[in-house]
Amino acid sequence: MFTISHRVEIKTDPKSVYRALSSADGISGWWSRTEGEFEAGGEIAVHFDASVVTLQVLQQNPTKIVWQCLQVEPEWEDTQILFEWEEQDGRTLVHFRHEMWAEETPLFERCSAEWAGYLLSLKDLLETGQGRPYPDNARINSSQGGS
């Protein structure tokens, strides 16, 4: 199995990170328009132009969130997205993993780059009040595979 892994240091408190990762308004501010039930066992839908990513919330607490990918690109199905964070010297260090990919494909590589961009969008949202959610995020060239 393969894993995308990133981390980002954000000048904010852990409670603000939790709010940005556990609500429709929060996720819509850094990733894409989102709706659903933001509690363990709930499902959330993240909307893009022609597709919807459906995620089940497996775990949600003040320092960790885990989502199971249900309906999305076939390569994403049954993968898990994890966010863990901790306060360090007045900042919050966010550890991100997108786990359980069956193989390292062009889509895996593109998603790794796009996740890095979305984590910087999360950082911008929390530090400046303005993220860069889809479709305003930096796009990876579509000739590299995927949609």
Domain span at residue 24? 2-144
Q: In the prediction, which pLDDT does 138 show?
A: 62
- pLDDT 10s digits, 10-37: 999 999 999 999 999 999 999 999 999 9
DSSP state string for the chain: -EEEEEEEEESS-HHHHHHHHSSHHHHHHHTS-EEE--STT-EEEEE-SS-EEEEEEEEEETTEEEEEEEESSGGGTT-EEEEEEEEETTEEEEEEEEEEESS--HHHHHHHHHHHHHHHHHHHHHHHS----TTSSPPPPGGGS--
pLDDT(112) > 50 = yes
The total number of structural domains in the chain stands at 1
Q: In the prediction, which pLDDT does 50 show?
A: 85
CATH of the domain at 114: 3.30.530.20
Give me the mean pLDDT over the 86-105 stretch.
97
Q: In the prediction, which pLDDT does 140 show?
A: 54
